[in-house]
Amino acid sequence: MDFAQFYQEGGVWMHPIAVCAVLGAGVMIERFIFLFFRFNINGAQFFNQIQKLVMANNIDRAIKLCNAADKAALARVMKAGLTRANKSESDIAAAIEEAMLEVSPAITKRISMIAAVANIATLLGLLGTIFGMIDAFTAVAVAAADQRSQALAKGISIAINTTGFGLMVAIPLLSAQVFIQGLAKKIADEVDLYAVKLENLLAARVRQG
């Protein structure tokens, strides 16, 4: 059975599930591109470079390094702290905290929507199953004898195909959501860790004079 026939035999409930598939795929691709290619960076390597420049008292060059990777969340947070490197410890801490509050929502943005769309697709598939079974039992009760088997098969096709299509949409989306959520957590954890390290590094520099 080809997909076109499978889709057609699923009835009208296949259409909202298909909408969920398109919407979920769009969000999934957008989040992957944004997190993996824009916000992601090798945190340890980047911080080591910043640390060497700060210890060499070369703040301007450290800021330029952040500008070169200005799309990365960690670089944006570090730049906020570095631009206040000659201020007080409280100013440095406030600048870093403000930058973290700005990037944190951007990291987690729309990730939960992927799982929500997957769950809706599953529920629509189950709803299609219920209405398909209702059609099947109604056909048995009221259809003429020569049309009963055809009507019963049509109702069962709606029931099975909508469930199958809902799961076909939901399973890849939920799998992708797990991966994307893990990637977002990795980025957020690195931002938290190296922001604290930079704050301590700059605070020590201020105390030394």
Query: For 51-102, how does the pLDDT look when each residue is reduced to its tens digit (9 = 90+)?
Result: 999 999 999 999 999 999 989 999 999 999 999 998 999 999 999 999 999 9
Q: From CA 29, how far away is CA 22, in angstroms rounded?
A: 11
Residue in 110, 81, 106, 84 with CA at minimum distance from that of residue 96: 81
User: What does the domain layout of the chain look like in residue ranges?
Assistant: 3-208
Instruction: Give pLDDT, residue 191.
Output: 95
DSSP string, 106-144: HHHTTHHHHHHHHHHHHHHHHHHHHHHHHHHHHHHHHS-
What six digits make up the tokens of 200?
């301590």
Residue pLDDT, tens place only, 156-201: 889 999 999 999 999 999 999 999 999 999 999 999 999 999 999 9
Mean pLDDT (the chain, rounded): 92
Percent residues over pLDDT 70 in the chain:
97
pLDDT grade, residue 19 (50/70/90)? very high
DSSP string, 28-56: HHHHHIIIIIII---HHHHHHHHHHHHHT
Q: Which residues contact 177 (CB under 8 A, 6 or more apart)?
A: 28, 111, 114, 115, 118
pLDDT of 144 above 90:
no
pLDDT grade, residue 1 (50/70/90)? low
Mean pLDDT throughout 117-124?
97
Residues 68/56, Cβ–Cβ less than 8 Å? no
